[in-house]
Every structure is written in structure tokens, then in C-alpha cells.
């Protein structure tokens, strides 16, 4: 491991120096002639941030990239071999054979498709609700934001009580008043993922509500006044002023909520355990990498997942940019 | 042009990382002897425990370590203990252990859960201690952690499970189970008959813990039903699941549990404390429930006259749960295992076994510990059951996958077809075994 770290550190220094050298050499072409020491000073000032980013962002990604092409088994860290694309082949075989990875892919898609519009819709509704000047608005803001600061483990445990299959479970006892029979919400494949979607949207929407609120504050009031003078009602004001004014805010929210949703892990892990009807891609990776100890294979899944999420995110950005 | 240069630089970095990952795979130091403290000249033996230092069990280990250090002061051996409580999340004991293994900082002795013996031994994480432990000491244990005919661990204490029952409820409804003893265990049919009597009396019959599928609990408590029905999980070498995990006998065992759900004797909805609140007739659990019933739930269980323990029911054969945590020497870079052997034998001694089990209330791992349990008492039932019908979980390198597959079957028993569930999970388990061959 020490030798490995030294090699990577040496490569890092070389790459860093190459970047600096390239910058200086090409500076003349860009009509901003640098002196070598000026460039070095600038790069040295950047160094602390770059080192931290390298150590905690780039290096783990690169390690993961490297492991994806090996047979790394967690209990045999001293016996790693390069196996080419074997892990990737296995990933596609697992999907084709409708194994657990196939279920993880379907469940994650279901979660993303469910939670992104729900969470953003809730955030917008809550933001519009509290974007008023009445006294209790601040209280509502705090209440709506509170779930965000509670850890996901705690909220998952809280919802476990709400969704308890027992007749005494909160939801079952409420529905019991209406004559509905108790259900095992989290064990039933038809209801488990919708429940996780609802709790996740509830937990996360407070944060997006704040972002929408800041977006709302950037919309000039005179636009609303002009719309009023033109005889626009509340709905027309929303569609003609508020919605276009929040476009850039929504681009940011959609992308971040989408990426966060793709990485869902805690809720299914704590609420249902490793079950085909709720397993997600991140949970699958965790199970393969830590519980089953196949770090190489797990890294291959992670790499493919990163490529897919990255591609979709780029498409999203391109689509929204074109519309702007 | 600049984009191409950036791409090439990142690609170079990635390739070098890959090569360094592969190239440095075998970089652990070899040939080093045990760690010696230069100030005192003591050989330091590091040990990692799976419990919190402040817990009752942790305190018992701590006292035995202190006693060891006092006894071995003249021999210049010193034990240094680290405590990392196990938990279900990512920060748990297993993660700590695996991280230590990856970083090359594995302790000389570790505690490990018995089902991990095969995978740890197969991966050479554990050291073969066959020649280090005298034969008479080995013979004194109820069970040993063996794999491939070699010894890899010595149990700290033993565990077994059974059906705790609420005597007040049984008396109230005239249900007599006095003839079902560990010497004369009840059958599946008799077990179901008692469940029926309880249900007919308006009481939830039994908490089988079928909801406890997020960790090892359900596997540990329910696997004996499959053995009792004549089923198996894997071949003897632990590398074949097809034909074992999905055999008709294995299906019989799971179908029995399924029938308990379908006939309304148990369910996934039974709350964790329902038995302790006095609303459930029976509760399947391990020996660790004894201290809880003795001390924590006085309102319902004022004394031992209010509760009892029944053995596992039998079908074709009698089978009961076994297996607890063990001590093992690791295959870390310290090649001199002499000092580690001394500490291992000290911790696995009769004195240590007695001291630790006195604190935990579990069954001693060694036969020579004077248990002196009163005949018919819960402790006596667990001990005798261990001796007569105890059977360990399958010894396989794919144990984590086995446990997941077992849990998935139990979790879907309420709604799924057993044969179909077993075929799916047998296929998953077999694939994992093939990967590990």
C-alpha cells in the first residue's frame, strides 16, 4: 500500500507539473504571456485545494476505476489480479439473467421516476405556501425544513413505526378506523417502494423548498404588478411569471435531486433489508463490495452507474440549456 | 487540443493507478516477528474484541486481559486490547476487521462469528492453530471452528435457543407442556397442536422472529427447523447448493414455518416486545433472553414460576441452534505466533470461560466448566440441547450469501411458493459458490 501511495503521489506531482508547463507554453498563443514563476506561484496557491480534491475525490474514483478491472476480494487484499472486462461481462450477465442487479436497476428507476417529481413538486408547493408575509410563515418554514436535519437513520426508524404491519401500527390503526385491513407495507412488493418514495420525498423536500424560496425572491415584483395590470389571475401569474423565473433554479434542483435519488441506500437498508423488491443500485454495490466482499465487481457496477448517471445528467443539462 | 491533452493526462493517471493497485497487491511485509515495545522489551499481542468495552461482556474480557498481563509480566508478553462494538451499519465490527485487513494492521488475535470460519480460513485471514492447541484442550470444547480438517478458532462461549413460554397463559388455558423436555422433545405436530390451543384461546401463539430478516437473527433461530425436517443447505464441502438448498426435505422445513403463518399461529406483525408484555404465548430466542426475563420484565414475569423454556420441536430428527463468537489467531505479518498462542490459550482456558460466561449468562464453551444447572431449568435445557441435538450452520465460504438467501426466503414465506423461492435462492447461492471456487 505504501509503494502504491508513493507511485500515485509521484504521478500526481508529474501531472501537476505537466499542467503548469502546458499552461505556460500555451500562454503566448492565448496572448496572455506568463512568466514561469508567475505560473508556479499561482499553481502553488492552488495546491492545497487541489491536493484535498485529489485525495478525497479524484483518488477514490481512480482507485475504483482501477479495481473495476481486477478480481479484488476484500479478504485477499494482497492477491489482486488484472482480469480485463470480466467484471463488466458479469454485470451484463446478471442483468440479462434477471438476477438481483436487474431488480436493483428496476427499483432504482422506479424510485427516481417517483421521487424526483414528487419531491420537487412538494418543494414548490411548500415554498409557495410559506412565501408569504403572514406571521406563522416562519414557523412553517422551520417545520418543513426540520426533517432535513434529522438523520436518515432516525427518519427511517420513525417511518418503520408508522408503517408497522401490526394492527397497532400508526398507519394501519388509522386505516382500521375506515375499515381497511392491516397491511405489511414494507414486505408487500406492491407497496414497499412507494412507501420509500413517500418518506424520501418528505424527508428531502424541505431543502429544495429553501432553494425554491431563494429563486422566488429573485423574481422582480414589478413583473407581478404588470401581470395584474394586464388582468392576469393567480394561475396566469404562476405560469407566465413564477414558472419562467424559476427555470434556472429548477435545472439545479432537478439535477441534484436526480443524482441523489440514484444513490439511494439508507432507506431500503434500514427499512426492509436486502430484498429483491426494494434493493437499489447503491445497496447492491454495498452488499457486493462489503458483505460479499467482491470489491472489484462492486467497483465495476459503480463505474457503470457513474457513466449512466453522468450521461443522463449531461443530457438534462443539454436539454435545459437549449431551452434557455 | 487542450481537451485532448486533459483527457490523455487523466487517462495516464487512471492507468498508473490501475497498475499500482495490481502491482502492489502483494506488498505486505513478510518475515517480521511479533511487535516488541522498545521501552520495555515486551512482546505486544494485539487483540480486537467485538463488544463495547463498557458492556458487561467487555468488562469480563478486560479483567481477563489484565490478569494475563499480570501473569505474563515476567515472560515479557503484554496484551493490548481494542474494543469495537458490532452493529448493523457500515461502522460495525466486520467493517473494522476488513479495513484492518486491507491496511495491513490486523490484530494478532480477533474475535469472529462462527459462520465466518470458512471464508476467513479460505482467505487465509485466520492462522491454522491445529498444532498450537493441545488435543486435550480441543476435546474439552463443545464445538470447534474447523475448516478443511484444520482448526481455526476456539469458541468464547456457546449459544443455543428455544421457545420461551408464558406459564401464566398456559396455566390459564389448561395447556400442559410438562412432558416436552430436552430428553423427550416435542414433535412438529405437537408443537402445532399447542399453537392451535393458544390461538383457540384468543392468544397470539408464537413469535417465530420471522420479521428479523435484516441481520443474522432469523437465520440463527430458524435454520434448525430445516435440519429437523431432514433438509440440508449445502454439500459437505460447502461448494454446492443446488439439490441441497432446494431439496424437497429443505422445502418441508420451510413449508412447516409457512404453515404456521398461514394458519395464523405466527406473523410478521408481532411486535418486538409483545411476548414480554404478556400478549404472546411463546417466543423463539437464544440464551441471551434469560437475563432479560429474570430482571427486566418483572411486571409480567415476576419470577421463574411465570416463564419456562421448551426445546426445538423435532420431525425426522432433533436439531437445535448452536454457534457463537470465537477467538482466532490472524495470519498477519507477525510470523512468530508464540506470544499470540499464549494469549489465545489463556482466554480460552477454563477459568476465562467461567469468568466470561458468569458475566454474560451464556453457556460455557468448555465442558469442564462446572455449570451445575438445576435439572429442568432454562440453562439446563439449553446445555443439554446443545449436547444432544446442536447442529452448526452450514460451513461454506459463501456464508454471507447463504444468510441473505435464507433471509429472503423467510421474508417471502408469507406470500410466495416455497419451491419457487428455494429454486431462485439456490441458483443465487450456487452462482456465488462458483465465483469463490
Q: Which helix (H) or strand (E) holds B251?
A: helix B248-262
| H or E element at residue B53 | none
B426 and B285 in a common domain? yes
The answer to the question of residue B248 being in a domain is yes
Residues B333 and B413 in one domain: no
Claim to verify: residue B306 and residue B346 sit in the same structural domain: no
More confident residue, A253 or A138: A253
The reported pLDDT for the residue numbered A11 is 79
Interchain pair A79, B125: CB under 8 A: no
Instruction: State whether residue B279 sits within 8 Å of chain A by CB.
Output: no
Q: Which of B25, B122, B274 to mutate to test the interface with A (most CBs of A within 10 A)?
A: B25
CB contact under 8 A, A165 and B269: yes
CA B270 to chain A, closest CA, distance in angstroms equals 6
- Cβ of B277 under 8 Å from any chain A Cβ? no
Confidence band for A323, pLDDT divided at 50, 70 and 90: low
Closest Cα in chain A, distance from residue B429 (Å): 11
Same domain, B239 and B318: yes
Examine residue A19 and state whether it is found in any structural domain, yes or no.
Answer: yes
Select the residue of A4, A73, A270 nearest B24 (Cβ to Cβ): A4
What's the pLDDT score for residue B10? 52
> Is the CB of B267 less than 8 angstroms away from the CB of A165?
yes
CB contacts, 8 Å: B211 with chain A? 165
Indicate which CATH number applies to the domain containing A160. Answer: 1.10.3720.10
CB contact B2 to A (< 8 Å): yes
Residue B59 lies in a domain: yes
A163 and A35 fall within a common domain: no
- What span, in angstroms and rounded, lies between the C-alpha atoms of B239 and B215? 23
Query: Mutate which of A284, A286, A292, A298 to test chain B, going by most B C-beta atoms within 10 A?
Result: A292
> Would you say residue B83 lies in a domain?
yes
Q: Give the model confidence (pLDDT) of A50-83 as tens digits.
A: 888 888 888 888 889 999 999 999 888 888 999 9
Residue A77, domain member (yes or no): no
**In-domain check, residue B26:** no
How many angstroms separate the CA of residue B193 from the nearest CA in chain A?
24
With residues binned 3-state (H G I as helix, E B as strand, rest as coil), the percentages for chain B, rounded to 5, are 40, 15, 40
Q: Please give the Cα distance from B309 to B312 (Å, whole number).
A: 10
Q: Are B365 and B158 in contact (CB under 8 A)?
A: yes
Contact between residue B329 and residue B341 where contact means Cβ atoms under 8 Å apart: yes
Beta-carbon separation of B24 and A11 below 8 A = no
- Model's pTM, two decimal places? 0.86
Do B151 and B178 have their domain in common?
no
Neighboring chain A residues of B12 at a CB cutoff of 8 Å: 11, 15
If you ran DSSP here, which 8-state letter would residue A169 be given?
S
Residues 198-217, chain B, touching A (beta carbon < 8 A): 211, 213-215
Residue B13, pLDDT score: 54
Nearest Cα to A145, choosing from A122, A162, A161?
Answer: A122
Pick from A67, A99, A187: which is nearest to B21 by CB?
A67
Q: What is the dihedral of CA B46, B48, B52, B56, to 10 degrees?
A: -80
Query: Same domain, yes or no, for A130 and A273?
Result: yes
Same domain, B165 and B226: yes
Residues of B in contact with A186 (CB under 8 A): none
Q: How far apart are the C-alpha atoms of A249 and A253, rounded to whole Å?
A: 6
Separation in Å, CA of B121 to nearest CA in chain A: 10
B232 shares a domain with B206: yes
pLDDT in tens, chain B (437 residues): 555 555 555 555 555 555 554 454 444 443 344 677 777 888 999 999 999 999 989 999 999 999 999 999 999 999 999 998 876 544 578 888 888 888 888 999 999 999 999 999 999 999 999 999 999 999 999 999 999 999 999 999 998 999 999 999 999 999 999 999 999 999 999 999 999 999 999 999 999 999 999 888 999 999 999 999 999 999 999 999 999 999 999 999 999 999 999 999 999 999 889 999 999 999 999 988 998 899 999 999 999 999 999 999 999 999 999 988 999 999 987 888 999 999 999 999 999 999 998 888 788 999 998 778 888 899 999 999 999 999 999 999 999 999 999 999 999 998 889 999 999 999 999 999 999 98
Q: Indicate whether this complex's ipTM tops 0.90.
A: no
Closest to B411 (Cβ–Cβ): which among A58, A169, A275? A275
- Expressed as residue numbers, the domain containing B197 is 161-322+394-436
Candidate from A11, A22, A270 with C-beta closest to B16: A11
- How many pairs of residues across A and B have Cβ atoms under 8 Å apart? 139
Pair B145, B264 in one domain: no
| CB neighbourhood size of A53 (10 A) | 12
DSSP string across B111-126: EEEGGGHHHHHHTT-B
CATH code, domain with B110 = 3.40.190.10
B411 touches chain A (CB under 8 A): yes
Residue B32 is predicted with a pLDDT of 43
**3-class secondary structure, B228:** helix
**Number of folded domains that form chain B:** 2
Q: In the prediction, which pLDDT does B29 show?
A: 41
- Give chain A's count of helices (H) and strands (E): 16, 0
Query: With an 8 Å Cβ cutoff, are B411 and A273 in contact?
Result: yes
Higher local confidence (pLDDT), A265 or A321 = A265
Quote the minimal CA–CA distance from B91 to chain A in Å: 11
What mean pLDDT is predicted for residues A224-238? 90
Distance from CA of B153 to the nearest CA of A (A): 17
Q: Which of B14, B22, B123 to mutate to test the interface with A (most CBs of A within 10 A)?
A: B22
User: Same domain for B148 and B238?
Assistant: no
Query: Chain A contacts of B271, Cβ < 8 Å?
Result: 164, 166, 168
For residue B245, give the nearest of B404, B122, B389 by alpha carbon.
B404
Residue B115 within any structural domain of the chain: yes
Residues sharing a CB contact under 8 Å with residue B201, sequence separation 6 or more, in sequence order: B169, B172, B173, B175
Read off the pLDDT of residues A13-38 as tens digits, 9 standing for 90 and up: 787 778 777 877 777 677 666 677 77
Cross-strand pairs, B166: B307
Q: Which domain holds residue A56?
A: 2-67
Query: Are B21 and A2 inside 8 Å of each other by CB?
Result: no
Amino acid at each position: 500500500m505504501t509503494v502504491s501511495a508513493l507511485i500515485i503521489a509521484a504521478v500526481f506531482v508529474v501531472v501537476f507539473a505537466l499542467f503548469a508547463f502546458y499552461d505556460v507554453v500555451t500562454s503566448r498563443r492565448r496572448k496572455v504571456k506568463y512568466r514561469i514563476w508567475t505560473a508556479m506561484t499561482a499553481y502553488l496557491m492552488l495546491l492545497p485545494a487541489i491536493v484535498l480534491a485529489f485525495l478525497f475525490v479524484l483518488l477514490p474514483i481512480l482507485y475504483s476505476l482501477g479495481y473495476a478491472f481486477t478480481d479484488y476480494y476484500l479478504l485477499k487484499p494482497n492477491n489482486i489480479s488484472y482480469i480485463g472486462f470480466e467484471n463488466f461481462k458479469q454485470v451484463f450477465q446478471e442483468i440479462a439473467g434477471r438476477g438481483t442487479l436487474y431488480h436493483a436497476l428496476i427499483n432504482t428507476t422506479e424510485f427516481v421516476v417517483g421521487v424526483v417529481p414528487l419531491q420537487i413538486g412538494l418543494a414548490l408547493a411548500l415554498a409557495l405556501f410559506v412565501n408569504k408575509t403572514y406571521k406563522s410563515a416562519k414557523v412553517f418554514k422551520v417545520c418543513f425544513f426540520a426533517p432535513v436535519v434529522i438523520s436518515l437513520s432516525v427518519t427511517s426508524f420513525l417511518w418503520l413505526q408508522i408503517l408497522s404491519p401490526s394492527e397497532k401500527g400508526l398507519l394501519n390503526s388509522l386505516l382500521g378506523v375506515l375499515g381497511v385491513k392491516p397491511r405489511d407495507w414494507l414486505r408487500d412488493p406492491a407497496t414497499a417502494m412507494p412507501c420509500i418514495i413517500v418518506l424520501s420525498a418528505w424527508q428531502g423536500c424541505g431543502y429544495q423548498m429553501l432553494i425554491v424560496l431563494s429563486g422566488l425572491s429573485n423574481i422582480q415584483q414589478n413583473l407581478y404588478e404588470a401581470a395584474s395590470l394586464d388582468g392576469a389571475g393567480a394561475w396566469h401569474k404562476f405560469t407566465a411569471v413564477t414558472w419562467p423565473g424559476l427555470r434556472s433554479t429548477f435545472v439545479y434542483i432537478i439535477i441534484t435531486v436526480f443524482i441523489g435519488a440514484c444513490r439511494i441506500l439508507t432507506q431500503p437498508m434500514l427499512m426492509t433489508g436486502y430484498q429483491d423488491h426494494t434493493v437499489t443500485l447503491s445497496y447492491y454495490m454495498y452488499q457486493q463490495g462489503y458483505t460479499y466482499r467482491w470489491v472489484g465487481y462492486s467497483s465495476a457496477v459503480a463505474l457503470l452507474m457513474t457513466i449512466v448517471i453522468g450521461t443522463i445528467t449531461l443530457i438534462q443539462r443539454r436539454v435545459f440549456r437549449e431551452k434557455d | 487540443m487542450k481537451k485532448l491533452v486533459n483527457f490523455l493526462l487523466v487517462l495516464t493517471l487512471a492507468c498508473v493507478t490501475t497498475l499500482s493497485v495490481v502491482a502492489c497487491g502483494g506488498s505486505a511485509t513478510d518475515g517480521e516477528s511479533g511487535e516488541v515495545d522498545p521501552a520495555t522489551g515486551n512482546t505486544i499481542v494485539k487483540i480486537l474484541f467485538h463488544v463495547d468495552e463498557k458492556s458487561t461482556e467487555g468488562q469480563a474480557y478486560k479483567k481477563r486481559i489484565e490478569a494475563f498481563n499480570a501473569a505474563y509480566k515476567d515472560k515479557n508478553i503484554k496484551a493490548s486490547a481494542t474494543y469495537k462494538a458490532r452493529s448493523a451499519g457500515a461502522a460495525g465490527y466486520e467493517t473494522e476487521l476488513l479495513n484492518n485487513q486491507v491496511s495491513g494492521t490486523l490484530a494478532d488475535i480477533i474475535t469472529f462469528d462462527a459462520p465466518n470460519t470458512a471464508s476467513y480460513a479460505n482467505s487465509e485471514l485466520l492462522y491454522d492453530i491445529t498444532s498450537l492447541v493441545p488435543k486435550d484442550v480441543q476435546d474439552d470444547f463443545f464445538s470447534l471452528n474447523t475448516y478443511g480438517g484444520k482448526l481455526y478458532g476456539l469458541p468464547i462461549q456457546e449459544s443455543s435457543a428455544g421457545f420461551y413460554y408464558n406459564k401464566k397463559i398456559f396455566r390459564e388455558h389448561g395447556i400442559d407442556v410438562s412432558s416436552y423436555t430436552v430428553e423427550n422433545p416435542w414433535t412438529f405436530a405437537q408443537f402445532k397442536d399447542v399453537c392451535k390451543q393458544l390461538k383457540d384461546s384468543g392468544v397470539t401463539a408464537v413469535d417465530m422472529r420471522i420479521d428479523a430478516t435484516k441481520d443474522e437473527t432469523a437465520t440463527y433461530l430458524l435454520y434448525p427447523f430445516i435440519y429437523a425436517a431432514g433438509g440440508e443447505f449445502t454439500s459437505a464441502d460447502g461448494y454446492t447448493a443446488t439439490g441441497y438448498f432446494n431439496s424437497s426435505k429443505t422445502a418441508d422445513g420451510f413449508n412447516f414455518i409457512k404453515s404456521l403463518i398461514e394458519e395464523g399461529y405466527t406473523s410478521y406483525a408481532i411486535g418486538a416486545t409483545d411476548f414480554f408484555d404478556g400478549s404472546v404465548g411463546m417466543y423463539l430466542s437464544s440464551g441471551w433472553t434469560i437475563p432479560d426475563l429474570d430482571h427486566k420484565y418483572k411486571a409480567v414475569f415476576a419470577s421463574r414460576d411465570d416463564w419456562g423454556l421448551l426445546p426445538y420441536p423435532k420431525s425426522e430428527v432433533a436439531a437445535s441452534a448452536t454457534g457463537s463468537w470465537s477467538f482466532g489467531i490472524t495470519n498477519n505479518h507477525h510470523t512468530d505466533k508464540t506470544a499470540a498462542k499464549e494469549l489465545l490459550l489463556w482466554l480460552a482456558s477454563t477459568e476465562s470461560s467461567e469468568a466470561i460466561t458468569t458475566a454474560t449468562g451464556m453457556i460455557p464453551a468448555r465442558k469442564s466448566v462446572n455449570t451445575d444447572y438445576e435439572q429442568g431449568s432454562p440453562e439446563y435445557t439449553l446445555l443439554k440441547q446443545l449436547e444432544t441435538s446442536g447442529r452448526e450452520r452450514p460451513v461454506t465460504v459463501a456464508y454471507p450469501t447463504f444468510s441473505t438467501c435464507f433471509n429472503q426466503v423467510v421474508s417471502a414465506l408469507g406470500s410466495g411458493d416455497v419451491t419457487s423461492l428455494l429454486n431462485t435462492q439456490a441458483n443465487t447461492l450456487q452462482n456465488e459458490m462458483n465465483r469463490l471456487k
